[in-house]
Chain A
Amino acid sequence: MTDHIVVLGGGTGGTVLANDLADRLEPELDADDVRVTLVNDDPEHVYKPVWLYVPFGQREPADGRRPLDELVDDAVDLRIGRVTGIDTDSQRLRFRGANPAVDYDYLVVATGSTLEPDRVPGLADGGHDYYSESGASALREELLSFTEGELVLSVVGTPHMCPAAPLEFVFMADDWFRQRGLRDDVDITYTYPIQRVHGNPHIAEWAKPIMDERVIEVETFFNAESVDPDAETVTSMEGTEVDYDLLVTIPPHGGVDLVADAGLGDDGWVDVDKHTLEAEAADNVYALGDTADTGVPNAGSVAHYQAGVVGQRLASEVRGRPATATYDGKTLCFIETGMDAASFVEFDYERPPSPAPPSEKLHWSKLAYNESYWLTARGLL
């Protein structure tokens, strides 16, 4: 009997896992004891961290795209199609159109995050973002011609992808306008939903003095309730109103409807054991990356490390051995603190982050990793 492992989602987590399995299970794949299928609804893989640099004219959206079939090992069956349903009882995926259903023995859900700006009235019309290709490109046009006024960065909802990116954006914008001699004419305001500037108290404690020193205004306990694009104002649930000339937001995020429809969790996030990454509501189902509701940041490094854990566990299961690999919450993030400097954090479930002193070396380390990411996607790094 051939075990069929299906990985649903060709983002960082799904692609790294598919290649990990191709390597780890090479003997079983050669012997037809196991098949690995990667399902994605787009023939291209997207590396989202590139988007942070697009508004500042440093990268192009195309820099973050590569065809999946160039990244994925030939031993993996790549299937491009839209899944419309997961039946965890019969262990079957249904597809849009006339595409035949696919049965699985093990399923890994790695469908990631989607943006939901329509949850806040006026947000889609009034706000820009750098959390999508189109958003980053449109913001670039606005930012390049922005020479004076109120620049507001508003984190509208959490959890969101790359929790450090809002801090990075205002640090980079501050430096970028200073280098161009425009900072005196541009006010920068940062809003955050809770009482500090970042969800993690250690990172918040590190970032706030830098924001003060760089004269980045802060509004905390600010949960955007509506945006008025005509008046150019954002009003919060807490009753505060902020004026803007250019509004950049981190829109509300959600997962895909498939997850809730399958009874795997609310809002598109799969309820999992945060160590084994096994779904709580179904057998033989794992989740990883943004999709796995573990409480750790929605970051590429998390998806990368979780893929290694799920790969080990699936290999054990296929070989009839107890699965012992567990995820310890490991997270790595570089945090840009300007156009030429960055910090770095590493933490897990037990050890809190302690941001490194910003340096040019860490900035170049981040850019170097972004270039070498394609080796990570291929399962080589």
Chain B
Amino acid sequence: MTDIQPDETVDARGAACPGPLMDLIGAIRSAESGDVVRLLSDTDGSLTDVPEWAEEAGNELLSVEELDDHHAFYVEKT
């Protein structure tokens, strides 16, 4: 369990790919630099989508938590 405190949580559980990534991008778009967004997703595609986009956009993927039936991605806007 991470102790990172997110500034915003986006719950995209139940959404099909690429919905969770687009929800994350939307949250990062309106976030301030340094804010941490936590994305909850139960789509396996997010395990590749999210790290690829974070690297491409220059944001930092701080942590990926594996929970019971979904993952939590912590992304900091640079």
Chain B interface residue bracket vs A: 10 to 19
Contact A195 B57, beta carbon cutoff 8 Å = no
Q: Is A194 an interface residue (CB 8 A)?
A: yes
Of the stretches B1-9, B48-56, B65-73, the one at the interface is B48-56
Q: How far apart sit A158 and B15, CA to CA, in the bound complex (Å)?
A: 13
Distance (Å) between the CB of A232 and the closest chain B CB?
Answer: 22
Known contacts A239-B58, A295-B16; A195/B53 CB under 8 A: yes
Known contacts A193-B22, A194-B18; A225/B49 CB under 8 A: no
User: Which residues 225-280 of A have a CB within 8 angstroms of B?
Assistant: 225, 237-239, 274
Distance (Å) between the CB of A353 and the closest chain B CB?
Answer: 13
Contact B15 A295, beta carbon cutoff 8 Å = yes
> Which single member of B22, B29, B58 contacts A194 (CB below 8 Å)?
B22
The residue in chain B whose Cβ has the minimal distance to the Cβ of A220 is B56
Contact A225 B29, beta carbon cutoff 8 Å = yes
Contact A221 B56, beta carbon cutoff 8 Å = yes
**A158 contacts which chain B residues (CB < 8 A)?**
18, 22
Contact B19 A193, beta carbon cutoff 8 Å = no
Distance (Å) between the CB of A39 and the closest chain B CB?
Answer: 29
Known contacts A193-B25, A223-B25, A225-B29; A199/B18 CB under 8 A: yes
Distance (Å) between the CB of B48 and the closest chain A CB?
Answer: 9
27 of the cross-chain contacts (CB-CB < 8 Å) are A158-B22, A159-B19, A193-B18, A193-B22, A193-B25, A194-B18, A194-B21, A194-B22, A194-B49, A194-B53, A195-B49, A195-B52, A195-B53, A221-B52, A221-B56, A223-B57, A237-B25, A237-B28, A237-B29, A237-B57, A238-B56, A238-B57, A239-B57, A239-B58, A295-B14, A295-B15, A295-B16
**B53 contacts which chain A residues (CB < 8 A)?**
194-195, 221
Total number of A-B contacts with CB less than 8 angstroms? 43
Contact with A along B9-36 (1 / 0, CB 8 A): 0000011111101100110110000000
Q: How far apart sit A239 and B78, CA to CA, in the bound complex (Å)?
A: 12
The residue in chain B whose Cβ has the minimal distance to the Cβ of A267 is B26
Q: How far apart sit A223 and B17, CA to CA, in the bound complex (Å)?
A: 17
Q: How far apart sit A112 and B57, CA to CA, in the bound complex (Å)?
A: 31
Q: How far apart sit A195 and B17, CA to CA, in the bound complex (Å)?
A: 12
For A221, A239, A274, the residue with the greatest tally of chain B CB atoms inside 10 Å of its CB is A221
Distance (Å) between the CB of B45 and the closest chain A CB?
Answer: 8
Distance (Å) between the CB of A261 and the closest chain B CB?
Answer: 20
Q: How far apart sit A221 and B53, CA to CA, in the bound complex (Å)?
A: 7
Contact with B along A194-209 (1 / 0, CB 8 A): 1100010100000000
**B21 contacts which chain A residues (CB < 8 A)?**
194
Q: Give the top 10 A-B pairs by smallest Cβ distance, nearest first.
A: A295-B16, A221-B56, A238-B57, A194-B18, A199-B18, A158-B22, A238-B56, A295-B15, A223-B25, A195-B52
